[in-house]
Amino acid sequence: MMKTSKYSGGVRFAAAFCLICLTGVLGACGDNAVSSYLTKDMWMEAAEAPRLTGEFAGAGASSQKSAVDAWIVGFSGAQPQTKISYDPSGSGAGVNTFLMGAAAWAGTDAPLNDSQIASSKTVCQGKTAFDLPVYVSPIAVAYNLSDYGLNGGKTHLKLKPRTVAKIFSGAITRWNDPEIASQNPSLASRLPALDITPIWRSDKSGTTKVFQDYLHAAAGKDWPYRPSETWPNEVGQGAKGTSGVVLTSSQAQGTIGYADAAQVSGLGTVALGVGEAYVPFSAQATARLIARSPRNKKASQAGRYVIDVDYATTDPRSYPLALVSYDVACPAYKNPAQGEFVKQWLTYEVSSQGQRTAAANAGAVELPETLRAQLLTSIDSISGLSRITPAADERTTTGGREGRS
């Protein structure tokens, strides 16, 4: 059981959403409808947190978009006078927007680097920003060979990490290459003598770094590039954003790309080599990988929690290519109301209800309960507003000031 906090908008906020989940009244979130149960008065009584009004903007990882859309609906049920927006501009662009003070929080598929942490002092009132995992999803290596009956269903091409690396580096260029055929003996006769067209992110992308981290760890010398948020070669074709990769891959035969698994419907997906096994993506196999991956000890700045994903795992029940997407926030904001919003927003995201909402609407893998408890400690450190109780007069907080509603 989680330890309670003096701040009622932290752990109590999560508990309120868990209670709502158990009573089965938030099911409408998946239909983009706000539950009538989450009225202003019920929010005040259950969570005892300051009411908020106004506009709050986030920006960043496109991989989070479906989850954020669902979270906005759920959160707005409890805080109906907030207007929340999210620009899925990509991890790098989102972090830059946050560092310029134009977003309350950022979503990123790559943890903050030292330069970004140092720069954050400007917008975090002299303190440094921190990043917390809020969204986990398998990354699919997705291909389009629908004309050859190889897309979808239970059919998965099997590829070892070194083979995937050779395809994306341009060392393997045809679908009927002997290395691919040898790993797929039952499908070899259906592999076409067709050029392979790798599709990669043309924008600065945390997903790109995650994919390269996997290739670097699992494929060794067959991936000659240093992982970064920028794609390192010109083999194939670039496309902007997760949606761009999926759309471009869908428009031509012989393509292969990498994207959040929840967004690759209609494409074929690779069962990745793990030791002597081949593992297709699934929530269970991804959750097992995350549970077995340690915390990154180098990310030791206050509030940070970075998962050191074991991309080179040999566990045959783990899917090795997992996206851990983070939210970036300040421990202190110039506008206390913005700090209060971020505190409540992050608490909802990592709550059991928030995680179930992301799983139902975006195919996310729920964070383990033990991890969520640790994240709440960091979230609780954000400076917000003083507690407003139900007995207080009808006051609403906006822009750091109070006024009659």
pLDDT, tens digit, 9 for 90 and up, residues 281-309: 999 999 999 999 999 999 999 999 999 99
**pLDDT tens, position by position, 308-346:** 999 999 999 999 999 999 999 999 999 999 999 999 999
Whether the pLDDT of residue 211 is over 80: the answer is: yes
Question: Coil, strand or helix: which one is 59?
Answer: strand
- Burial per residue of 155-193, b for 16 or more beta-carbon CB atoms within 10 angstroms, e otherwise: bbbbbbbbbbbbbbbeebeebebeebeebbeebeeebee
Residue 49 domain-assigned (yes or no): no
Place of tokens 């179930």: 356
Tell me: do 332 and 205 sit in the same domain: no
Tell me: do 232 and 160 sit in the same domain: yes
Tell me: do 94 and 172 sit in the same domain: no
Tell me: do 84 and 123 sit in the same domain: yes
Residue 11 domain-assigned (yes or no): no
Tell me: do 286 and 143 sit in the same domain: yes
Mean per-residue pLDDT of the chain: 86
In angstroms, what CA-CA distances link 328 with 184, 293, 333?
Answer: 42, 21, 13
Nearest-angstrom CA–CA distance, 328 and 110: 11
Q: Determine the average pLDDT of the residues in 362-366.
A: 94
Tell me: do 132 and 142 sit in the same domain: no
The pLDDT score that the predictor gives to residue 374 is 93
Which range among 12-16, 140-144, 190-194, 246-250 shows the weakest confidence by mean pLDDT?
Answer: 12-16
Place of tokens 């992050």: 346
Q: Determine the average pLDDT of the residues in 206-213.
A: 93
- Burial per residue of 323-345, b for 16 or more beta-carbon CB atoms within 10 angstroms, e otherwise: bbbbbbbbbebeebbbbbbbbbb
Residue 182 domain-assigned (yes or no): yes
**pLDDT tens, position by position, 117-156:** 999 999 999 999 999 999 999 999 999 999 999 997 789 9
Residue 26 domain-assigned (yes or no): no
Residue 120 domain-assigned (yes or no): yes
Nearest-angstrom CA–CA distance, 84 and 252: 36
The pLDDT score that the predictor gives to residue 36 is 28
Range of the structural domain that residue 196 is part of: 138-291
Residue 387: band (very low, low, confident or very high) from pLDDT cuts 50, 70, 90: low
Residue 42 domain-assigned (yes or no): no
Tell me: do 276 and 331 sit in the same domain: no
Residue 37 domain-assigned (yes or no): no
**pLDDT tens, position by position, 25-67:** 333 333 333 332 233 333 333 456 799 999 999 999 988 999 9
Are the beta carbons of 62 and 137 closer than 8 angstroms? no
Residue 22 domain-assigned (yes or no): no
Tell me: do 95 and 219 sit in the same domain: no
Tell me: do 152 and 284 sit in the same domain: yes
Which range among 89-93, 150-154, 252-256, 359-363 shows the weakest confidence by mean pLDDT?
Answer: 150-154
Tell me: do 176 and 220 sit in the same domain: yes
In the chain, how many domains are there? 2
Look up the CATH number of the domain holding residue 236: 3.40.190.10
Tell me: do 79 and 154 sit in the same domain: no
Nearest-angstrom CA–CA distance, 28 and 341: 23
The pLDDT score that the predictor gives to residue 206 is 86
The pLDDT score that the predictor gives to residue 48 is 67
Tell me: do 283 and 222 sit in the same domain: yes
